[in-house]
Amino acid sequence: MDKIPASGTDSAAGLKQADQLRSDNVTCGPSATGRGDGGLFVRSRMAGRAGRSDLIADVVNSGADVAPADIGLARAGTDLPQAMSRVAETVETALDHLLPVPEGAEARLAEAMRYATLGGGKRLRAFLVMETAKLFAVSPTCAARVASAVEMLHAYSLVHDDLPAMDNDDLRRGKPSTHKAFDEATAILVGDALQTRAFEVLAEPDTHSDPQARCELVTALAAAAGARGMCGGQMLDMLAEGEGLDGPAVTRLQALKTGRLIQFSAEAGAILGRAAPHRRHLLAAYGRDVGAAFQIADDLLDTEGSTEETGKTAGKDAAAGKATMVAVLGPERARAQAEMLAAQAAKHLESFGDKASLLVALATFAVTRRN
């Protein structure tokens, strides 16, 4: 059995941070100090931005190849790496607490669950939860629980996706995938139990003082993850291998397979903050477009990046005849499409003003990253 990484200095620092967070707003709704931005602010800002919105809409509709910098996407991007790194640390600590190792021989399962979940990944989904929760002044402690649940759900999907009967990939996040580090049966159980734990965490009282919000988190995550979401997309992906899907079919496949979970992550802050429906819809639209941009960028990296850069087996999707936008459009047009989606994503956030600057920067990062 492989050893799991012990909780070291980083984890201890994150723990201290998490303890500090606990002194925050413990009801996990919007704080009483009214840090959420008001309706007036939104309206005045939208009025001032009308011209710019039209410009982006034109760019999107025309299909022109416009670099992100041309439409101001890169604003506030300098803080993004540090912010993502802070979120990754916070969520690592939260996951460490939420995935304890029990007594008894079944500890092997918990260790494998930790192997599959801790110490890796960009934590994109966690970042979206934490940042959108911040828009509504939600307690970071509560948001970190939801971020952890999404990361568990995502980790389960990767573990099952890597299985020999699925994508049969031996490498994940630069280390042996779970069925290689442990065994295939354990990997099946790891995915199963991580999914269970994700829903359990969402429904537990510590996640939100209002059980209605917890139920909404469960149903929204389930809709994103189930047969009409991620699992349905996986099914499409399997059926599509070597089938030569067209652009709309690939777009739909990707929207289900990876898009829905990213969209949920962006909506989660609004659910936690009991936001008005139109604000939740804006975040959902942002999440949908950012997710699509990330997916195309991922496929470009699979084509152009090295195994060392990405921590995944390079060129694997192309070799397997996977349905991707890169395969349909070619690398150049696929890149232009990703940049348009990133611009469109940023546009959905205009009414949130500067508070959403990191989320806007993330849209740029989606299409400029190298791993």
Binding site for a copy of itself (CB under 8 A): 102, 104-106, 108-110, 113, 156, 160, 163, 165-166, 183-186, 188-189, 191-193, 195-197, 199-200, 202-205, 210-212, 214-215, 218-219, 222-223, 225-228, 231-236, 238-240, 252, 256
273/268 Cα distance (integer angstroms): 8
Nearer to a copy of itself, 187 or 283 (CB): 187
Q: What SS3 class is residue 159?
A: helix
Nearer to a copy of itself, 10 or 210 (CB): 210
The structure tokens 């990997």 sit at 187
In angstroms, what is the minimal distance from the CB of 229 to a copy of itself? 8
In angstroms, what is the minimal distance from the CB of 227 to a copy of itself? 4
- 65 contacts: CB under 8 Å, gap ≥ 6: 332, 336, 339
Nearer to a copy of itself, 232 or 315 (CB): 232
Q: Hey, what are 186's tokens?
A: 């354990």
Longest dimension (CA), the chain: 64
In angstroms, what is the minimal distance from the CB of 182 to a copy of itself? 10
In angstroms, what is the minimal distance from the CB of 21 to a copy of itself? 23
Nearer to a copy of itself, 156 or 352 (CB): 156
Nearer to a copy of itself, 6 or 185 (CB): 185
* Backbone angles phi and psi of 120, in degrees to 5: -165, 165
What is the DSSP secondary-structure string of 133-144? HHHTT--HHHHH
Contact predicate 118/194, CB 8 Å: no
Contact predicate 259/228, CB 8 Å: no
In angstroms, what is the minimal distance from the CB of 263 to a copy of itself? 16
